[in-house]
Amino acid sequence: MFHIVLVEPEIPPNTGNVIRLAANTGAHLHLVHPLGFRLDDTRLRRAGLDYHEWARVAEHPSLVDCLRQVRPRRAWALSTHGSVGYHQVRYAPGDALVFGCETGGLRRELTRFSPGRRLRLPMRPESRSMNLGNSVSVVLYEALRQQDFPELE
């Protein structure tokens, strides 16, 4: 099982999509405050449909508190400033995949991760960023693929 950590997510439909992803893969979702919406937001519910009841979602006041409580095997930061491709590392159950907010990424939190733990998704040089939900899906499914998709088939 993997942990998905969203630090200060801002857009309800993105988080709703990640809730659906967590429900369908068995990943644990952790939301780090402040959130840019309320968890009962209609747009969040619409995007997550009825998956919210099947997902394991926890809220945390800060990234430090989240990582202290979760105690992941390792924590990987995903950022456009990452130096290692997400596909170049070996993931293991218990790892946490940490993503920043849609408009600013991980900003100040990135310095908590050593350069070898800062991952990036390859994209065209003139591109600014990827959609949060898509990025989480790509990285989580790579981690699951490396484990031969345990309990998913």
Query: Is 129 annotated in some ligand binding site?
Result: yes
**pLDDT in the model for residue 55:** 87
CA 21/CA 4 separation, integer angstroms: 10
Domain presence at residue 91:
yes
CA 108/CA 98 separation, integer angstroms: 13
Please determine, for residue 21, whether its predicted confidence score (pLDDT) is greater than 70: yes
pLDDT tens by residue, 59-109: 999 999 999 999 999 999 999 889 999 999 999 999 999 999 999 999 888
Please determine, for residue 48, whether its predicted confidence score (pLDDT) is greater than 70: no
Token output for 77 = 């930061």
Query: Is 78 annotated in some ligand binding site?
Result: yes
Q: What is the pTM of this model?
A: 0.93
| Cα 31 from chain centre | 9
Domain presence at residue 152:
no
**pLDDT in the model for residue 37:** 82
Domain presence at residue 143:
yes
Q: Which domain holds residue 135?
A: 3-147
CA atoms within 13 A on the CB side of 80: 16
Please determine, for residue 42, whether its predicted confidence score (pLDDT) is greater than 90: no
The better pLDDT of the pair 123, 48 is held by 123
Please determine, for residue 47, whether its predicted confidence score (pLDDT) is greater than 80: no
CA 13/CA 16 separation, integer angstroms: 5
Domain presence at residue 51:
yes
The better pLDDT of the pair 97, 49 is held by 97
Query: Is 83 annotated in some ligand binding site?
Result: no
Domain count, the chain: 1
Domain presence at residue 111:
yes
Judging by DSSP bridges, how do beta strands 56-60 and 28-32 pair with one another? parallel
**pLDDT in the model for residue 75:** 98
Domain presence at residue 12:
yes
Q: Which of 69, 52, 53 is nearest to 5 (CA)?
A: 69
Radius of gyration of the chain (CA): 14
* Residue 30 belongs to domain with CATH number: 3.40.1280.10
Going by pLDDT thresholds of 50, 70 and 90, the confidence category of residue 27 is: very high
Domain presence at residue 153:
no
Contact 22, 49 (CB under 8 A): no
- 3 three-class SS: strand
pLDDT tens by residue, 114-147: 999 999 999 998 888 889 999 999 999 999 999 9
Query: Is 133 annotated in some ligand binding site?
Result: no
Domain presence at residue 105:
yes
